[in-house]
């Protein structure tokens, strides 16, 4: 979900309790990590080559293009039981599969996960928040996110958000304008590029992917 962290996302991370590994690792996989990287790239490119394939498998688009050129889709199952079950997939504006997120609930793991032979320091910690999609002009969807503070002001719940809370918070004008809203729980998150990346599969960005337009924002 979060490849290149902008200043806005860093602020959001602080508000929601996200924390990041202090030791900066190379984006290039180690010898121990390479089998996981290769297997995931082959598997996901075969099963989810297009956004339509992701949608048919239950993934919902929930973001605009981010600063790395990625548009994220989530299946809203936040425990990746194995390497075949990423919680998120990302595509560019042309529908090209770029990468995926694997996640583990923080409630199930106090420490960074030891999974897939990946260095635990590669897992990022994100606090609970809410994502939503609003009815936009000409059939479009306006994507956004909000945090616990905004929900608390209107007695809303980050764990069980609903359209009425978005209206009360001034995010939506009417419940009819809310196309979807869902909780994004506190998780450990691992991102991996499946599109070849000369900076490495675990790099923040991919030089081969150029953002096409304006990135979306988040309301706190």
Question: Model confidence over 81-111: pLDDT tens digits?
Answer: 899 999 999 999 999 999 999 999 999 999 9
pLDDT higher than threshold 70 for residue 51: yes
| % of the chain surpassing 90 pLDDT | 80
d(CA 216, CA 141): 12
pLDDT higher than threshold 60 for residue 14: no
| pLDDT (average), residues 162-184 | 96
Q: Which pLDDT value is given to residue 7? A: 32
Name the pTM for this structure: 0.87
65 — pLDDT class (breaks 50, 70, 90):
very high
Contact 101, 85 (CB under 8 A): no
Q: Token pair for residue 91?
A: 């595509």
Q: Which pLDDT value is given to residue 29? A: 98
What's the chain's average pLDDT? 89
| Phi, psi (deg, nearest 5) at residue 38 | -65, -40
Could you report the per-residue pLDDT of 108-167, keeping only the tens digit for each?
A: 999 999 999 999 999 999 999 999 999 999 999 999 999 989 999 999 889 999 999 999
Q: Which pLDDT value is given to residue 23? A: 59
pLDDT higher than threshold 80 for residue 175: yes
Q: Which pLDDT value is given to residue 73? A: 98
What dihedral do alpha carbons 11, 115, 185, 7 form, nearest 10°? 10
Task: Give the domain ranges of the chain.
Answer: 1-9+19-126+188-211, 128-184
From the list 54, 215, 56, 52, the residue with the least C-alpha distance to 144 is 215
d(CA 153, CA 155): 6
DSSP structural state of residue 17 = T
């Amino acid at each position: 979900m979060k490849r290149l962290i902008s200043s806005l996302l860093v602020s959001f991370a602080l508000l929601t309790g996200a924390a990041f590994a202090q030791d900066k690792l190379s984006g290039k996989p180690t010898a121990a990590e390479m089998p996981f990287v290769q297997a995931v790239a082959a598997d996901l490119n075969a099963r989810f080559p297009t956004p339509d394939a992701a949608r048919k498998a239950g993934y919902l688009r929930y973001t605009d293009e981010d600063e790395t050129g990625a548009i994220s889709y989530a299946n809203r199952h936040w425990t990746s039981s194995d390497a075949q079950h990423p919680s998120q997939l990302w595509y560019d504006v042309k529908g090209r599969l770029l990468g995926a997120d694997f996640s583990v609930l923080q409630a199930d793991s106090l420490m960074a996960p030891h999974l897939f032979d990946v260095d635990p320091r590669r897992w990022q910690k994100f606090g609970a928040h809410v994502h939503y999609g609003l009815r936009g002009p000409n059939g479009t969807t306006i994507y956004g996110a909000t945090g616990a503070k905004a929900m608390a002001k209107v007695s809303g719940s980050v764990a069980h958000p609903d359209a009425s809370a978005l209206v009360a918070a001034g995010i939506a004008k009417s419940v009819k304008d809310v196309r979807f809203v869902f909780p994004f729980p506190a998780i450990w998150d691992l991102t991996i590029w499946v599109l070849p990346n000369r900076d490495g599969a675990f790099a923040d960005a991919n030089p081969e992917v150029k953002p096409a337009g304006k990135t979306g924002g988040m309301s706190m």
